[in-house]
Amino acid sequence: MDNQLRKTLLDQGRQAKKASRQLAVAPTTVKDQALLDMADALEAGSREIFAANRLDLEQGEKQGLTAALLERLMLDEKRIKDMAQGLREIAALPDPIGEVLGISKRPNGLDVGRVRTPIGVIGIIYESRPNVTADAAALCVKAGNSILLRGGEEALNSNRVIARIIADAAVRAGLPDGAIQLVDSEDREAAVIMMKMNDYLDVLIPRGGKGLKKAVLENASVPVIMTGMGNCHVYVDQYADLDKALPIILNAKVQRPSVCNAAETLLVHEQVADEFLPKAIAELQQAGVEIHGCQRTQQIVADIVAAQEADWDEEYLDLILAVKIVDSLEEAIDHINTHGTGHSEAIISENYSQVRHFLASVDAAAVYANASTRFTDGNVFGFGAEIGISTQKLHARGPMGLPELTTTKFIIYGDGHIR
């Protein structure tokens, strides 16, 4: 293990812990002003961000990153504006810290209640998308947490500039130095060190693919909230409005295929497969999607790739879609619960009973009726942004906004009480 790297990270952890104690009691006005200043600084520094991002894109192309990964990595004027707007929307949200979640008077006269408090120091390990640097930092600041950011090496130049710009703006606005820190290392050992920083990190949030998830499960001793992996399904029921179904599937797969809420598998009931699949696959192929179909799908549409068993578990993050014909709603539900990652799942159906059964039976953070899986997003849900989409069940599930970045403490008021 690189001793210097370990020392650097532990120093950052100590600084983050110290900053978290000051952030925990920072006034809402100071935190909100910091967020507004961070947003302005991002827009003012857009040229510097673009220059750094171009370096990352050039290196990514040389290293053979897929078109999907390059798309996740790319920043343009709209994405910078969206990042800044996300920070302003977070500033406008109610401050969760200090919210009283209930108080009651006990028979002995004690007043016992609970309030929201910051978690403390949050570590995040993420891949590709440099906008996460700003989103995660902003949410943590608003919720009174300090943050240690470790982005992927493919976005290091972009992350360096974004983190420096927003951290400097936050300090100028009155937040403690060390509240926002980037782990500035390409060494993958940095992530492993973070996974074991129990003395400094209160929780670790990984956002990435199977490799990162496997590494975290094998190495982390810090409490973890697992996020991000999305093997999402759209099921077209026998009672579906097929004219409604096709635009939903196209949106779920094509609109932005490189993100975790994009659809990866299409399930179609056998009673509508002959009518629906030829048109649906033709339009998907016209949009550049490669279809991996089951044997029954191949009998209906010949010009597709034969699906293998591994396809049902694959998060492609690309213009590839697995297609399977099922005999019943129960088979669709069983397939999703077997192969899904607990992210986002959708049914297309006009039958109320079918819809209710699907929504109740599918085990996922977000379940949709007659809508695209692409809506699973903190900004869309009204959170301003998200630090990740939790695919586990404790302590958060789905897009994680401000409340999910808090914990609680009991407050007890007495008047000389003894037991």
Report the alpha-carbon distance of residue 268 to residue 277 in Å, rounded. 8
- What tens digit of pLDDT does each residue of 186-239 get? 999 999 999 999 999 999 999 888 888 889 989 999 999 998 789 999 999 999
- What tens digit of pLDDT does each residue of 385-413 get? 889 999 999 889 999 999 999 999 999 99
- What domains appear along the chain, each with residue ranges and CATH number? 3-227+387-413 (3.40.605.10), 232-375 (3.40.309.10)
Half-sphere exposure of 129 (CA within 13 A, CB side): 22
* pLDDT for 385: 85
| H or E element in which residue 105 lies | strand 100-105
- The mean per-residue pLDDT over the stretch 337-359 comes to 98
- The mean per-residue pLDDT over the stretch 104-119 comes to 98
* pLDDT for 66: 87
Report the alpha-carbon distance of residue 229 to residue 208 in Å, rounded. 7
Q: Are strands 389-390 and 398-399 parallel, antiparallel or unpaired?
A: antiparallel
- What tens digit of pLDDT does each residue of 266-281 get? 999 999 999 999 999 9
* pLDDT for 179: 98
- What tens digit of pLDDT does each residue of 27-79 get? 999 999 999 999 999 999 999 999 999 999 999 999 999 888 899 899 999 99
- What tens digit of pLDDT does each residue of 125-168 get? 998 889 999 999 999 999 999 999 999 999 999 999 999 999 99
- The mean per-residue pLDDT over the stretch 323-352 comes to 98
C-alpha distance from residue 254 to each of 59, 64, 130, 290, 294 (Å): 26, 22, 21, 11, 21
- What tens digit of pLDDT does each residue of 293-337 get? 999 999 999 999 999 999 999 999 999 999 999 999 999 999 999
The terminus-to-terminus CA distance of the chain in angstroms comes to 52
φ, ψ (nearest 5 deg) of residue 163: -65, -40
User: What is the phi-psi region of residue 227: left when phi exceeds 0, alpha when psi lies from -120 to 50, beta otherwise?
Assistant: beta
β-sheet with 305-306: strand ranges across: 305-306, 290-293, 320-326, 263-269, 232-236, 344-348, 366-369
CA nearest 405: which of 116, 175, 35? 116
Q: Which residues contact 51 (CB under 8 A, 6 or more apart)?
A: none
Q: Are strands 366-369 and 203-207 parallel, antiparallel or unpaired?
A: unpaired
| H or E element in which residue 219 lies | helix 210-219
CA nearest 200: which of 409, 399, 8? 8
Where are the extended beta strands (E) located within 311-376?
320-326, 344-348, 366-369
Strand partners, 408: 116
The residue behind tokens 């994405």 is 79
Q: Are 364 and 399 in contact (CB under 8 A)?
A: no
The one-character DSSP state at 224 is B
Report the alpha-carbon distance of residue 160 to residue 168 in Å, rounded. 12
* pLDDT for 1: 58
| Average pLDDT of the residues of the chain | 96
Q: Which residues contact 94 (CB under 8 A, 6 or more apart)?
A: none
CA 40 distance to own-chain centroid? 24
